Amino acid sequence: MSSNDNTISFPELIKLKRDGGQLSSEDIHTFVQGVISEGIQDSQIGAMLMAIWQKNMTDEETLALTREMMNSGHTFEWPKEWLVVDKHSTGGVGDKVSLPLAPALAACGCKVPMISGRGLAHTGGTLDKLESIPGFNVKQSVQQVKQIIKDVGCCIVGQTESLVPADRVLYATRDATSTVDCLPLITSSIISKKGAEGLSALVLDVKFGRAALYKDLDSARELAQSLVTAGNRLGVKTGAALTRMDAPIGQSVGNAVEVCEALECLKGRGPDDLTELVTILGGHLLWLCGNFTLESGKKEIALKLKNGEALKKFQAMLEAQGVSEDVARSLCSDETDYFKHMRRAAHQTELKVPDDGAVLDIDGLALAEVLHKLGAGRNKSGEEIDHSVGAEILVKMGQRVQKGESWIRIHHNIDLSTDQRSDLQKALVIGSLDKYKAVSRVAEFIHPNNPKMS
């Protein structure tokens, strides 16, 4: 059942979906236009989202919603010869992949207009991390974004007022109506923003595990397949990596400390798992563009991290987005005291290993939740955060440790409570080394033409 009458009322559209009917492209156009023109009441938007949450959407409905949202505001257009690419992550702990990946891709000749978000609850936000750097401005106009992409090749910015305005309304209403976890609404929100960027190719990092939105591989795969299908049907070559999100990525969690680690990665000395994710996701993007094989794409990204070309692009991006030349140059030099420029927390407290043994696990969610309470995260959109709060993990997975040695350094401005110390100690799992098994962050990859090719 569907309605093809453009004059159908909003209550009738809500009833149609509530009763399990299929919305036509015209119905969805009417709904989205009502959202951006404020011709539909907030209560009606909420009712429609709940009806979608309860009755789901077909692939055709999801695609129509994504396309209407994408076209609800400004869309970028680029010279035809440009390879315009981006990456999107579903959020995790210690996920600073975008910071080295965008400039590495730019160093490979790609254009990367990366539109990122802020952290909410226990997950960190790329924009918050970059705002740890004095002067970095994530608010750039459409014209400024175009100029930075032309001059530098990459930028990392927040969503502009004119880009996908329908998503801003629907996202806020989803949050208020407990419809955030609805697959068609997640798909349309993510892909509409990426489609509006005018991309040639997109790679999605869909995380699963204890510290991820999706706890198991099957549910993460379902989301990844929905995103890949919608992206490709919109004309963007889209693939997705399914990646493990139990222990934090890298050795740092928090805003300023993650910037430090991203800079180390750009200098060719980042932690192995972070470097692995950057090279795999970047390599897949180069492959999706058609200019590289998977292996040669990964090698090209790794080379740009090693030879300093990605670092030069990062420095140029910092300067283009408001960081002074002196600060940008210093951060990107051989200098390792990054806190000459970024604010350091008043206190650094190290916690000790309770027993001899090997590091079997570090609970990223437990760690992130403590840091959140110390001021590193926000409970609702718009809240201020403390960029200096964070943690440096001083041990690695599988490493032999002795009782009494330091395993983590917490950067904080308010006192650590007894409960917080206890929660942090519970995050560390020590046991026999023969129980440890190293695994790649990447579980499998969903390619456009091969849904389960790993």
Tell me, what CATH number does 413's domain have?
A: 3.90.1170.30
Cα-Cα end-to-end distance for the chain = 39
Same domain, 300 and 360: no
Please state the separation of Cα 248 from the chain's center in Å. Answer: 14
pLDDT of residue 76: 93
Please state the separation of Cα 91 from the chain's center in Å. Answer: 5
Q: Which of 96, 118, 193, 284 is catalytic?
A: 193
Instruction: Give helix 217-233 / helix 183-196 axis angle, nearest 10°.
Output: 40
Same domain, 142 and 276: yes
Task: Return phi, psi of residue 112, to 5°.
Answer: -130, 90
* 3-state per-residue secondary structure call for 60-129: HHHHHHHHHHHCCCCCCCCCCCCCEEEEEECCCCCCCCHHHHHHHHHHCCCEEEEECCCCECCECCHHHH
Q: Is 174 among the catalytic positions? A: yes
Q: Please, are residues 68 and 29 in contact by the beta-carbon 8 Å criterion? A: yes
Q: Is residue 66 part of a domain?
A: no
State how far the Cα of 177 lies from the Cα of 174, in Å rounded to an integer: 5
Q: Please, are residues 192 and 164 in contact by the beta-carbon 8 Å criterion? A: yes
Q: 26: helix, coil or strand? A: helix
Q: 19: helix, coil or strand? A: coil
Q: Please, are residues 211 and 368 in contact by the beta-carbon 8 Å criterion? A: yes
Same domain, 385 and 431: yes
Task: Give the dihedral sign, CA 36/42/44/46.
Answer: positive
Same domain, 256 and 310: yes
Q: Which of 118, 174, 372, 387 is catalytic?
A: 174
> What stretch of H or E contains 362?
strand 357-362
> What stretch of H or E contains 420?
helix 418-427
Q: What is the DSSP letter of 11?
A: H
Q: Is 333 among the catalytic positions? A: no
> What stretch of H or E contains 14?
helix 10-18
Same domain, 259 and 141: yes
Q: Which of 27, 167, 273, 386 is catalytic?
A: 167
State how far the Cα of 423 lies from the Cα of 36, in Å rounded to an integer: 45
Say which CATH number the domain at 129 has.
3.40.1030.10
Residue indicated by tokens 């009763």: 19
Same domain, 248 and 111: yes
pLDDT of residue 91: 85
Task: Outline where 199-268 has alpha helix (H).
Answer: 217-233, 255-266
Same domain, 186 and 233: yes
Q: What is the pLDDT of residues 64-112, one digit of tens each?
A: 999 999 999 999 999 999 999 999 998 889 999 999 999 999 999 999 9
pLDDT of residue 159: 82
- Domain total of the chain: 3
Same domain, 123 and 188: yes
> What stretch of H or E contains 156?
strand 154-157
Same domain, 258 and 201: yes
Which residues make beta-bridge pairs with 201?
A: 85, 237
Q: Is residue 305 part of a domain?
A: yes
Same domain, 330 and 430: no
Exposure string (b/e) for 268-278, b if CB count within 10 Å is 16 or more? bebbebbbbbb
> What stretch of H or E contains 283?
helix 272-289
User: Which ranges of the chain have pLDDT less than 70?
Assistant: 1-7, 119-124, 380-381, 449-454
Q: Please, are residues 47 and 80 in contact by the beta-carbon 8 Å criterion? A: no
Q: Is residue 3 part of a domain?
A: no
Q: What is the pLDDT of residues 258-274, one digit of tens each?
A: 999 999 999 999 999 99
Q: Please, are residues 371 and 257 in contact by the beta-carbon 8 Å criterion? A: no
* Contacts made by residues 268-271, CB under 8 angstroms, sequence distance 24+: 268/305, 268/306, 268/307, 268/308, 270/100, 270/305
Q: Is residue 62 part of a domain?
A: no
Q: Which of 89, 98, 189, 252 is catalytic?
A: 189
Q: What is the pLDDT of residues 381-433, one digit of tens each?
A: 677 889 999 999 999 999 999 999 999 999 999 999 999 999 999 999 999 99
pLDDT of residue 402: 97
pLDDT of residue 2: 45
Task: Give the dihedral sign, CA 300/196/181/28.
Answer: negative
Same domain, 310 and 363: no
Q: Is 122 among the catalytic positions? A: no
Domain carrying residue 374:
346-435
Q: Is residue 153 part of a domain?
A: yes
Same domain, 315 and 358: no
Q: What is the DSSP letter of 447?
A: B
Q: Is residue 35 part of a domain?
A: yes
Q: Is residue 370 part of a domain?
A: yes
pLDDT of residue 3: 45
Q: Which of 88, 284, 298, 411 is catalytic?
A: 88
- How many other C-beta atoms can be found within 10 angstroms of the C-beta atom of residue 303? 16
Q: Is 193 among the catalytic positions? A: yes
Q: Is residue 364 part of a domain?
A: yes
Among 288, 302, 325, CA closest to 110: 288
Q: Is 29 among the catalytic positions? A: no
Among 305, 206, 205, CA closest to 262: 305
